[in-house]
Amino acid sequence: MAAKLESIDEDALNEHAVDDPEEVARMVEMATRNSTERRQLGYFSCGTGNPIDDCWRCDPNWHKNRKRLADCGIGFGRNAIGGRDGRFYVVTDPNDDDPVNPRPGTLRHAVIQDQPLWIVFKRDMVIKLKQELIMNSFKTIDGRGVNVHIANGGCITIQFVTNVIIHGLHIHDCKPTGNAMVRSSPSHYGWRTMADGDAISIFGSSHIWVDHNSLSNCADGLVDAVMGSTAITISNNYFTHHNEVMLLGHSDSYMRDKQMQVQTWVLSCGQQRLHALGDAIGGSANPTINSQGNRYLAPVNPFAKEVTKRVDTAEGQWKGWNWRSEGDLMLNGAYFTPSGAGASASYARASSLGAKSSSMIGPITSGAGVLGCRRGHQC
């Protein structure tokens, strides 16, 4: 039996699941067509072969039109608008002295606000967080035009919220934090137990887009999406110097993870250390995973070549999960094990978002990670 997918109908998104692979294909085809039509509204095209970047990157006045980015998403997280409908908030202070009472002008003060915000940075900065940064809904963190590092402390937690965009950040050397009070909104703070030290932890959240970030060398995962998180796109990121890059799904016993939908696009995994089998993409509880236009570089270790890992699950169970690879570049013996409707030709045709052949992955992924954007010039 094919794995279950949430209905593309927004009103029924969290209520229905589909068992028929052809119905899965029909729904994804409809979503792809709608997304394509939405994006043909006079947006720029640089002809890079990357439909996300073509939507905004060749505008030399990108810094005056920052919120255009919110309309450029594709995949399952394409409807994440972040702080598009709110005002700009300029981070001027890199300090994080008090996670309970953050000072105005700090990143923590920005992300906990209740209203939508598009968060930018006044200058280059290194932000060492004392505790995990707990996001509120309808926020965009936009690091374009400056060099922003979140490093050597707590990192980003997206928990029980919706509509978050993370773009243009260096996130690395994240440490376990916790057993402390941390504020999550202007009206609430509470006790946080130990966080694992993920670069970006997505927990029980939806409509999330993680784009053009550089992530490396954290205590646990680089991107974890668990506990029923869904409608997520992870695109144009550069993941390096890490063992367990992505964990998708909490456990086989957690039923809400069966409705997880995650899309990866132009995701450069160069230099990633795959010391154990399946350390690139791990998942459980039947999440849906589309890997499109990614580059996977396996290590010399002959026993560490498989990109995929179904966590603590027998083949008889995971063979129905929708995991697929299209246009990925597999280097040094790396391989992706597809399954479910995602392995079928009809699903592959319907769910394609224009992934290029592996011959194109080199030039496309050369722009993965944080971009060197300058005002008055194309990014």
Enzyme catalytic residues: 273
In angstroms, the CA 147 to CA 123 distance is: 8
SS3 149: strand
d(CA 151, CA 265): 25
Tokens standing for 257?
Answer: 């993870």
What are 188's strand-pairing partners? Answer: 185
Strand partners, 17: 6
Residues 6+ apart with CB under 8 A from 20: 2
Residue 177 contacts by C-beta under 8 Å, 6 or more apart in sequence?
129, 130, 131, 132, 153, 154, 192, 194, 195, 197
Contacts of 252 (CB under 8 A, 6+ apart): 284, 285, 286, 311, 312, 313, 317
